[in-house]
Amino acid sequence: MGNVLLVIGDGAEVIDTMIPLYRLAEDHKVVKAGPEKRTYHLVQHHHEEGWDITVETPGYKLDSDIAFRDVSPEDYQALVLPGGRAPEFLRYDQDLLELTRHFIENGKPVASICHGIEILAAADVIRGRRVTTIPRCRLDAEFAGAIYVEEGLVIDGSLYCCRFKRECAPWMKAFAAALSQT
């Protein structure tokens, strides 16, 4: 089947990244894209007793196949935006924002989980759309004009949004099914 572009960067969450990588690679060529073609450091988030926020620890390393500026979006069927802290920094990358706009404007399937919504918000492509994300990113979505829905999976047209890594299975099942139809 087609090519899927998977966005990575330092601080991307391990599960948010690896589940789509392996699940979608069953039927598609998954190409990992980052700000540069290099090795990136993924992180793990977990809850620690006594902490009000998640604790972040180093996870796997993952090589990108291509830099955002070198991607020809016409060569890709879909886009995946993992969570973690990476989107907080990646949302300033103009090449990535242009790619994101291309996928949304052309009705290509886009999957976003957790902080991935920050890239969609920065690209200004979720105005008036139903989305979900982790509760602490709700303001990012609403400030960008989206309609926040407190559900594990929200599908609005070709946009597939998920909140938490524990909800990856239904998210990727729905996204993979959509890809098989395009």
Residues classed as catalytic: 115
**Whose structure tokens read 């070709």?**
158
The secondary structure element, H or E, covering residue 121 is helix 117-122
Other beta carbons within 10 angstroms of residue 48's beta carbon come to 10
Copy the structure tokens of residue 129.
Answer: 């759309």
Q: Which amino acid is at 66?
A: I
Other beta carbons within 10 angstroms of residue 94's beta carbon come to 11
